[in-house]
Amino acid sequence: MKSKLLLLLAAIVCTPSFANVDLIKVDKSKRRMYLVKENEIIREFRVALGKQPKGHKAQEGDQRTPEGLYYLDFILEDSQYYRSVHITYPNDRDIENARRHNLNPGGNIKIHGLKNGETKSASYIQSFDWTDGCIALSNQEMDEFIQLVDVGTPIEIYW
């Protein structure tokens, strides 16, 4: 019993759950998300991206994850995926670029867990890019992510 209590206390002390991050960085080329506080990475996640991950999202349906600086703007507890945090794509630059090329920039880009009802293991699902342009974590990681970030946190996505 004492050893379980010590392990629990160690986990609480070592887990930066009390620390809200300043910045989220997503390196699409490495399929990694970094949570940054005071210029230090406090947590790293492996992510799955859109099925066509290389390049910036230009239009709805291109299955690309956008690149640039965005913000987390709201949390959805009720979606097709386990917990979702919406990203402010498209921004003004994305909208203008789409308008110039007579395209619909799309939207509804989120960080989310696995699709509701998914029966395959998270390690399998996260071993390839499968979203339509979102950033996916395992459900357990999604719970941790939501504890560590606040609405309004900037997210920088790059190749």
Active site residues: 112, 134
| Residues 19-38 pLDDT 10s | 689 999 999 999 999 999 99
C-alpha–C-alpha distance, residues 80 and 48, integer Å: 16
Burial (Cβ within 10 Å: 0-12, 13-18, ≥19) of residue 97: middle
How confident is residue 18, by pLDDT bands cut at 50, 70 and 90? Answer: low
Is residue 6 scored above 50 in pLDDT? no
Is residue 106 scored above 50 in pLDDT? yes
Hey, what CATH topology would domain 2-158 get?
L,D-transpeptidase catalytic domain-like (2.40.440)
Domain spans of the chain, in order of start:
2-158
- Say what the pLDDT of residue 12 is: 45
**3-class SS of residue 130:** coil
Between 74 and 4, whose confidence is greater? Answer: 74
| Residues 57-78 pLDDT 10s | 999 999 999 999 999 999 998 8
* Stated pTM of the model: 0.87
- Asked whether the beta carbons of 118 and 137 are under 8 A apart, the reply is no
CB neighbour list of residue 131: distance below 8 Å, 6 or more residues apart: 48, 49, 50, 51, 63, 65
